[in-house]
Amino acid sequence: MDIHLKEILLKVGLTSRESEAYLSLLKRGESSAFEVSKDIKESRTNVYSTLLSLIKRGLVTYIIKRSKKFFKAANPEILLEIIKEREQLLSTNINSFLNYYQPYHGIQVEVYEGTEGIKTIWNEVLREGKEVFVIGSTGESTEVLQGFNFIKFHKARLRKKIRLKILVNTTKKAISHAKKIVKIGNGEYRVLPFDKPVTTYIYGDNVVLFEWKKSQLTAVHITSKGMAESFKSQFKFIWDRCTSFS
């Protein structure tokens, strides 16, 4: 079983058993429910129920030979159609959700954990569209956030004309990472005279503190115009006293 492909199917919205059954059919071709159950080590009853669910999703078809059903995986491109339909459904109804959303207007503190939580912050950076200031870039993010396409993110940042200024730690890894980002465009970096274990992002009225630990990837997100302005002032003070690279 290809674990990477299974993880993708789980993110698309399939259950664990649906993912395994679909991948089994994709790999094996036309198969009976018994053959699939043997391949994924599930009971025939459970697998048959799963195959019926996949048929309803349009991901599996079947034919009858000698009074027996044989199942076949549909073209994987249909997965893209499923995602498009879900995006269209959400896009059409997003205002109905926003009617219930009540934004908090005071100082707001939120904690994000794990890769998906961190991705939420990157997406917010793009939505905000404001200049981004980074203090204490470590270069660890690409290793910790495996599977996240940083090139795609920074190209999206370029399209939105979001400028990036980075104060990096003194390590070779941190400086190398900063050079790659700046090379993409619309950014510059300077090297700190000291190392910071926590990375700080400031954009708009937001301050985010990242701790890049694989065992417990955490980000503390603070929404406060006053705090953001204070951190921007600190950034400028340090920036003006560091060596320039661009």
DSSP 63-125: EEETTEEEEEEPPTTHHHHHHHHHHHHHHHHHHHHHTT-----S-EEEEEEHHHHHHHHHHHH
CA-angle at 209, arms to 207 and 212, nearest 5°: 150
How confident is the model over 43-62, as a mean pLDDT?
Answer: 92
Within-domain flag for 177 = yes
* Per-residue model confidence (pLDDT) at position 245: 61
pLDDT at residue 147 greater than cutoff 90: no
Domain end (from 59, 78, 97): 78
pLDDT tier at 39, thresholds 50, 70, 90:
very high
Within-domain flag for 97 = no
| Residue 108: CB atoms within 10 Å | 13
**Same domain, yes or no, for 74 and 122?**
no
CATH number of the domain to which 219 belongs:
3.30.870.10
**Same domain, yes or no, for 71 and 131?**
no
**Same domain, yes or no, for 124 and 231?**
yes
* Per-residue model confidence (pLDDT) at position 195: 86
Within-domain flag for 235 = yes
* Per-residue model confidence (pLDDT) at position 130: 95
* Per-residue model confidence (pLDDT) at position 221: 94
pLDDT tens digits for range 108-122:
899 998 888 888 898
**Same domain, yes or no, for 146 and 220?**
yes
Rounded to an integer, what is the distance from CA 20 to the centroid of its chain?
23
**Same domain, yes or no, for 66 and 137?**
no
**Same domain, yes or no, for 136 and 193?**
yes
Domain range spanning residue 166? 108-245
* Per-residue model confidence (pLDDT) at position 60: 93
**Same domain, yes or no, for 145 and 188?**
yes
Within-domain flag for 155 = yes
Domain end (from 78, 95, 126): 78
pLDDT at residue 196 greater than cutoff 80: yes
Q: What percent of the chain has pLDDT over 90?
A: 58
d(C-alpha 217, C-alpha 210), whole Å: 8
Locate all alpha helices (DSSP H) within the chain, ordered by sequence.
3-12, 16-28, 33-40, 44-57, 78-98, 114-128, 141-144, 150-159, 172-184, 225-239
How confident is the model over 8-14, as a mean pLDDT?
Answer: 90
**Same domain, yes or no, for 74 and 112?**
no
CATH number of the domain to which 40 belongs:
1.10.10.10
**Same domain, yes or no, for 114 and 174?**
yes
pLDDT tens digits for range 207-245:
999 988 777 788 999 999 999 999 999 999 999 998 766
**Same domain, yes or no, for 208 and 125?**
yes
Within-domain flag for 17 = yes
Task: Give me the number of domains the chain comprises.
Answer: 2
Domain end (from 78, 95, 124): 78
Within-domain flag for 54 = yes
pLDDT tier at 140, thresholds 50, 70, 90:
confident
How confident is the model over 175-182, as a mean pLDDT?
Answer: 90
* Per-residue model confidence (pLDDT) at position 151: 82
Q: Exposed, middle or buried, 204 (CB in 10 Å: 0-12/13-18/19+)? A: middle
pLDDT at residue 26 greater than cutoff 90: yes
